[in-house]
């Protein structure tokens, strides 16, 4: 509950300030010649996008804007006393502008040093966390508990793994905090999946494959456990041992990272959107711009006999996939 109250207040504050910024942006556009200040944007090339607030503060023709890959000028970045990206530094010349005090009081700008200001995290949520320890080749995927709408992504990952792709990449599924409409059965299923990942990591994706074939049918749980060669009673017992604390670890991390929708967290450092997977060598093939191919022609009971053993094909067909040519 605290999580949702905190998120709600943050969104309200952000929305109220957005109204002010829209008015300020119009003023800036009409009075561009009044402005002369430096804007330095430090970014991570894996996940950088020109946020609307970055655009707002740098849109003046008088602004001297410099976009900097932090890894190429790491020494300069270290001196900025921040450990998150993107990070936007603005020279104190902006103090001479008519609405500077309003920007400061609204919380959009914060004092960073004696000579500069920065856009506050509320308006420029961090997507790279440089203080976190690097976990090489680890991909955490945050999913809503009712992930029926994103099963194509899971199918794609399972298909790639079954063909020997994604080698050396540790894929971990995590669950986002439940919203008010989430049923107990969905929470129970999320806990079951977390338990299987913890106790039987080698069998998890086999279970997941069969489970998502008919996600809304509770009876598919028994089928999925059977094909993954998992003992239902043992899994149930482990669920009572781990309890919801296992899921709360995911929820706390999601809150720490500031995410509330499907996200990909690469090497414990970089938050990626689905299409940004293409910027990371080895992850790009997970991204499929449109549906089709092998994800749409899965045969339910062929995975254990072909895909899980590393055979050819998409994992849904013993002798290859006519839909995608694999």
Question: Judging by beta carbons within 10 Å of its beta carbon (0-12, 13-18, 19+), is residue 23 exposed, middle or buried?
Answer: exposed
pTM of the full structure: 0.77
Q: What percent of the chain has pLDDT over 90?
A: 44
* Residue 141: Cβ within 10 Å count: 21
DSSP 3-state assignment of 301?
A: helix
The predicted-structure confidence for 164-187, as pLDDT tens digits, reads as follows 999 899 999 999 998 887 888 889
- Cα–Cα distance between 267 and 130 in angstroms, integer? 11
Determine the pLDDT at residue 289: 81
Tell me how far apart the terminal alpha carbons of the chain are, to the nearest angstrom: 47
Radius of gyration of the chain (CA): 24
Question: Cis peptide leading into 5, omega within 30 of 0?
Answer: no
- Which runs of consecutive H residues, i.e. helices, occur in 65-114? 74-78, 100-105
Distance CA 261, CA 25 (A): 29
The pLDDT of residue 33: 46
User: Residue 199: which pLDDT band, with cuts at 50, 70 and 90?
Assistant: very high
Q: Averaged over 137-150, what is the pLDDT?
A: 87
Residue 267 in this model has a pLDDT that exceeds 80: yes
Measured CA to CA, the distance from residue 138 to residue 251 in angstroms comes to 18
* pLDDT grade for 13, boundaries at 50, 70 and 90: low
Ordered by where they begin, the domains of the chain are 2-128 (3.40.30), 132-309 (3.40.30.10)
- The band of 298, judged by pLDDT with boundaries at 50, 70 and 90, is very low
Euclidean distance between CA atoms 295 and 256, whole angstroms: 33
Comparing 6 with 142, the larger pLDDT belongs to 142
Residue 210 near residue 315, CB atoms below 8 Å:
no
Q: Which residues contact 312 (CB under 8 A, 6 or more apart)?
A: 163, 306, 319, 320, 326
Select the highest-mean-pLDDT range: 144-148, 187-191, 231-235.
231-235
CA angle 83–86–92, rounded 5-degree value: 90
Q: DSSP labels for 5-65?
A: HHHHHHHHHHHHHHHHHHHHHHHHHHTGGG---EEEEEE-TTT----HHHHHHH-STT-EE
**What pLDDT score was predicted for residue 231?**
96
Closest-CA residue to 268 (of 173, 151, 128) = 128
The SS3 call for residue 268 is coil
Q: Rounded to 5 degrees, what angle do the CA atoms 208, 211, 215 make?
A: 130
Q: What is the mean pLDDT of residues 38-49?
A: 90
Are the C-beta atoms of 169 and 135 separated by less than 8 Å?
A: no
DSSP character for 322?
A: T
Residue 299, pLDDT > 50, answer no
Q: What percent of the chain has pLDDT over 70?
A: 75
Which pLDDT does position 18 carry in this prediction? 53
Confidence of residue 218 (pLDDT cuts 50, 70, 90): confident
Write the DSSP assignment of 109-177 as a string of letters: EEEEETTEEEE-TTTS--SEETTSPP-TTEEEEEE-SS-GGGHHHHHHHHHHHHTT-STT-EEEEEEPP
Decide which of 23 and 37 is more confident: 37
Return the minimum-mean-pLDDT range out of 23-37, 73-87, 106-120, 163-177: 23-37
Q: 188 vs 146, 184, 185, 192, CA distance in Å? A: 11, 6, 5, 6
């Amino acid at each position: 509950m605290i999580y949702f109250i905190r998120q709600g207040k943050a969104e309200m504050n952000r929305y109220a300030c957005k109204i002010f910024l829209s008015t300020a942006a119009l003023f800036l556009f009409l009075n561009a010649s009044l402005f002369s200040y430096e804007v330095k944007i430090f970014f991570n090339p894996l996940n950088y996008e020109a946020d609307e607030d970055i655009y707002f503060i740098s849109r003046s023709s008088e602004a001297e804007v410099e976009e900097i890959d932090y890894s190429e000028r790491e020494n300069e970045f270290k001196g900025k006393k921040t450990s998150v990206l993107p990070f936007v530094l603005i020279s104190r010349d902006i103090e001479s502008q008519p609405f500077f005090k309003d920007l400061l009081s609204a919380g959009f700008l914060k004092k960073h040093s004696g000579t500069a200001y920065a856009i506050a995290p509320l308006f420029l949520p961090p997507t790279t966390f440089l203080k976190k320890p690097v976990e090489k080749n680890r991909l955490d995927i945050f999913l809503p508990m009712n992930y029926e709408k994103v099963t194509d992504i899971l199918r794609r990952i399972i298909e790639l793994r079954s063909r020997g792709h994604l080698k050396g990449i540790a894929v971990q599924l995590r669950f986002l905090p439940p919203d008010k409409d989430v049923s107990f059965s969905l929470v129970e299923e999320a806990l079951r999946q977390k338990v299987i990942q913890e106790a039987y990591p080698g069998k998890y994706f086999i279970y997941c494959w069969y489970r998502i074939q008919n996600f809304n049918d509770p009876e598919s749980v028994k089928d999925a456990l059977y094909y993954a060669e998992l003992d239902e009673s043992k899994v149930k017992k482990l669920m009572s041992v781990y309890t919801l604390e296992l899921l709360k670890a995911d929820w706390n991390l999601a809150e720490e990272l500031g995410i509330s929708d499907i996200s990909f967290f690469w090497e414990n450092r970089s938050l990626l959107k689905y299409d940004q997977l293409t910027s990371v060598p080895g992850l790009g093939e997970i991204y499929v711009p449109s549906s089709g191919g092998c994800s749409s022609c899965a045969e339910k009971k062929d995975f254990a006999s072909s895909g899980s053993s590393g055979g050819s094909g998409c994992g849904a067909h013993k002798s290859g996939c006519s839909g995608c040519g694999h």
